[in-house]
Structure 1
Amino acid sequence: MSDQTDVLVKKYTENGITTLTMNKPERRNSLSMAMLEALSAELEAVSGDAETRVVVLAAAGQVFCAGHDLREVRDQLGSYEFQLKLFNLCSRVMQQIVNLPKPVIARVAGVATAAGCQLVASCDLAVAADTARFATPGVNIGLFCSTPMVALSRNVPRKHAMEMLLTGEMVSAIKAERIGLVNQVVDEQVLDESVYRLAATIAGKSAFTLKIGKEAFYRQMEMGLAEAYDYTSEVMANNLQAADAREGICAFLDKRAPDWKDE
């Protein structure tokens, strides 16, 4: 494996699992323009990578992600064009995660605040160390976490989202699990074991089926009940035409392991 010390986002793939690690611990893995561009490029590359079945989003150091780089924001306070470009790029990266045809699992150790919390909420699944903490503290500096609010409010109940947004206070990992921001909270010593066990379980499924299911999940959430049922009925009927659906059903009835073709 090549030296990636100076790379903003390190990439490593093994057994169908690609780990993307934000690698700027001295800046608390903040989402600077450069970090967002690096994340966007890696997500685009992994989207079409047949070897990758599941993505794990991780971070180097003691902080998962502290949100936007406030030094960069301060230096560009006079440029509305830069600010809009920054937030549009961040929004695009979050949508890349949602639209990625592979499941994305956040591996959260340390603090995830503001756009860092948004990053966790944008992932399909999240596993956090028991020492992890979360916040949308923009209100404390006069900059309401409006873009983080989009992902947060789509993951946790409304009143919990509003409490985080209006108070800016830290939320423990246990509370984050209780309100649905993360799936699991585990001892920090077994964080990697827990994350990669979950990733391996998902990687063992048909990649084609996972792609269909993930896309349908997010699309139907924005629909009314009747429209969602009409849409997902069509998705399932189309899914049944796929080779992996036929193989999976036959394997289940024959009491054997399926041989996925990812098609």
Structure 2
Amino acid sequence: MQDSDILLRDLDADGVLRLTMNDAGRRNALSEAMMGALGAAFAEAGADPAVRVIILAANGPAFCAGHDLKEMTAGRADADRGKAYFTKVMAMCSGVMQAIVNCPKPVIAEVTGIATAAGCQLVASCDLAIAADTSQFSTPGVHIGLFCSTPMVALSRNVSNKHAMEMLLTGDMTPAFRAAEIGLLNRAVAPEGLRQTTTEMARKIASKSSMTLATGKRAYYAQREMGLSDAYAYASGVMVENMLARDAEEGITAFIQKRAPEWQDA
């Protein structure tokens, strides 16, 4: 498979970009090629005004099985037993997850099949996640002597401590309905309705001002890391600047005048 085929791109007329991981033979593992393609795609989409919302999907029976362990193991042949290579791969993976969070466009995971280890991390890193009710999620590193420490970062920012620790310490598969209950997913739906449900949500979000969405997404992740007082001070400043934006003026005026707003994304 050519690296250019590993991640498919499709942009519709509503500004919804569908990125589809297309390495089913390796269960869409986060190989170097896959991570490179994802990182580049999120950077490009973030800068493209035609893109308003991103859906991350996958072909094959697995959404993403995590790191490519065969690729990782080959690094042990190096003189340092793979330390430099492992460091490089973990930095690449962390960069992809942060690229999703830092992307100004909302990102929705559309999950079918399993999402394990760094694949579960990928789901947790997206802003929203909708899955087929047949999907399963796990952080199974404990089964092979490798604690899922980097998946833990995203997982622990989505679900409560005890639910996160249960997944991390047992490595058990979590069915989609349970993943929705604990906050890893927004919802679990019948497989035949998954694409329609995800697309409808994406189009609903895409109809909003992209300036407003970018402002809100950036502020959400920034304030979450602050103490209460600092978060309110920061968010208040964001609200002031947002009120001065053209789209906020237009949106409020349209609401008062009982008409649809005309966004300029500014």
Which residue in the other structure is 2:99 paired with?
Answer: 96
Structure 1 alignment gaps of length 5 or more? none
CA shift, 1:70, in A, is 0.8
Which residue in the other structure is 1:25 paired with?
Answer: 24
Which residue in the other structure is 2:69 paired with?
Answer: 70
Q: Which amino acid aligns with 1:54?
A: V
Output the CA distance in 2 between the equivalents of 1:228 and 1:5: 42
Q: Which amino acid aligns with 1:52?
A: V
CA shift, 1:79, in A, is 1.6
1:1-263 alignment runs, 5 A limit? 7-14=5-12, 15-77=14-76, 78-263=81-266
Q: Is the 8 A contact 2:139 2:151 kept in 1?
A: yes
Output the CA distance in 1 between the equivalents of 2:187 and 2:48: 28
Q: What SS is found at the alignment partner of 2:244?
A: coil
Paired-residue identity, % = 55
Output the CA distance in 1 between the equivalents of 2:253 and 2:113: 45
Output the CA distance in 1 between the equivalents of 2:158 and 2:47: 27
CA shift, 1:76, in A, is 1.1
Query: 1:189-243, CA deviations, whole angstroms, 9 ceiling, x for partnerless residues?
Result: 0000000000000000000000000000000000000000000000000000100
Q: What SS is found at the alignment partner of 2:5?
A: coil
CA shift, 1:42, in A, is 0.8
Q: Which amino acid aligns with 2:82?
A: S
TM-score, scaled to structure 1: 0.97
Query: 1:112-147, CA deviations, whole angstroms, 9 ceiling, x for partnerless residues?
Result: 000000000000000000000000000100010000
Output the CA distance in 2 between the equivalents of 1:6 and 1:81: 27
User: Runs ≥4 in structure 1, deviation > 2 angstroms?
Assistant: none
Query: 1:18-63, CA deviations, whole angstroms, 9 ceiling, x for partnerless residues?
Result: 0111110000000011110111111111110000000000001110
Q: What SS is found at the alignment partner of 1:76?
A: helix
Q: CA RMSD of the aligned region, Å?
A: 1.0
Give the number of aligned pairs.
260
Alpha carbons of structure 1 residues 37 and 6: separation in structure 2 relative to 1, 3 Å: closer
Output the CA distance in 2 between the equivalents of 1:236 and 1:79: 48
Output the CA distance in 2 between the equivalents of 1:122 and 1:254: 39
Output the CA distance in 1 between the equivalents of 2:70 and 2:116: 16
Q: Which amino acid aligns with 2:260?
A: A
